[in-house]
């Protein structure tokens, strides 16, 4: 049987040894799940899009994430775009209107409404064929999305992971727009982690049941509380970044 080395931080390695965790079995299950996810996303991203349900293979995606992909495909086809691009993915995420990624954007001072107004959706020729594929950049975003979910140890793929995929992909229009407005990949990942922690905290305060694996819609009255919680978690990181930039002479801060 082939052998794959797994490298762990010293503290984690010691904890695994002390707890007697069956490393091989755990890694096999995790890798099997990751392979299924990546295979499904590659078939969807690089194959022909199903006219009825382009997300049919993506069972690990949340309902909202699948709705975002459907909206992206719909937008691309309405404009006769040759492919579904990263700009359509971002526009679909904003159009869905109730996903956690939008709260993350607000927490890092990006207004989703203003953002929607600057996304360039280029129309194709009137006699053009409806988009049947994702662009190379959009396909890369979807693969990064699954990788982000797997890396965070989540058993679902949500809109917050899609946001991370959009920010991380270097060449697509959506990533360029987001990074240009301050959505640095590291900062955005911290914001997603903080948002998920804030969501769980809010759920614990409002209901005795355990929080679901994937976030549901945040009640309107809790939006400000969630945004404040994310900003509180992010403030130490932001302060550190500003200090480093000041030391490097990248800002005018004293």
pTM: 0.68
Residue-wise pLDDT for 230-243, tens only, equals 566 555 555 555 56
pLDDT band at 35 (very low <50, low <70, confident <90, very high): low
pLDDT band at 203 (very low <50, low <70, confident <90, very high): very low
* Contacts within 8 Å (CB) and 24+ apart, 61-67: 61/156, 61/157, 61/158, 62/156, 62/157, 62/158, 62/159, 62/214, 64/96, 64/98, 64/99, 64/158, 64/159, 65/99, 65/157, 65/158, 65/159, 65/161, 65/162, 67/92, 67/96
Q: Domain locations in the chain?
A: 10-187
What integer is the mean pLDDT of 188-215?
Answer: 62
CATH number at 10-187 = 1.10.1780.10
Strand partners, 70: none
Of the candidates 162, 165, 173, the residue with the CA atom closest to the CA atom of residue 122: 173
pLDDT band at 225 (very low <50, low <70, confident <90, very high): low
Residue-wise pLDDT for 86-145, tens only, equals 999 999 999 999 898 998 898 888 999 999 989 987 776 676 677 788 899 999 999 899
Distance CA 106, CA 110 (A): 5
Q: Which range among 38-42, 184-188, 247-251 has the greatest average pLDDT?
A: 184-188
pLDDT at 30: 58
């Amino acid at each position: 049987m082939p052998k794959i080395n797994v490298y762990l931080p010293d503290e984690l390695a010691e904890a695994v040894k002390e707890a007697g965790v069956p490393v091989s079995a755990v890694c096999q299950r995790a890798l099997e799940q990751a392979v299924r996810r990546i295979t499904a996303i590659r078939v969807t991203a690089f194959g022909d899009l199903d006219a009825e349900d382009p997300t049919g293979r993506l069972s690990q995606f949340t309902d909202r994430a699948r709705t975002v992909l459907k909206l992206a495909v719909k937008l691309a086809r309405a404009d006769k775009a040759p492919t579904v691009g990263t700009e359509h993915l971002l526009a679909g995420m904003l159009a869905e209107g109730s996903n956690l990624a939008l709260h993350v954007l607000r927490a890092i001072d990006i207004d989703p409404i203003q953002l929607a107004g600057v996304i360039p959706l280029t129309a194709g020729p009137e006699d053009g064929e409806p988009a049947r594929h994702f662009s190379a950049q959009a396909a890369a975003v979807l693969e990064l999305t699954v990788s982000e979910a797997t890396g965070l140890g989540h058993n679902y793929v949500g809109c917050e992971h899609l946001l991370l995929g959009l920010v991380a992909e270097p060449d697509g229009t959506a990533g360029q727009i987001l990074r240009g407005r301050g959505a640095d990949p590291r900062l955005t990942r911290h914001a997603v982690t903080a948002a998920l922690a804030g969501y769980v905290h809010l759920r614990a305060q409002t209901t005795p049941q355990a929080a679901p694996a994937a976030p549901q819609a945040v009640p309107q009255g809790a939006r400000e509380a969630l945004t404040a919680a994310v900003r509180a978690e992010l403030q130490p990181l932001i302060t550190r970044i500003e200090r480093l930039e000041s030391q490097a002479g990248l800002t005018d801060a004293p």
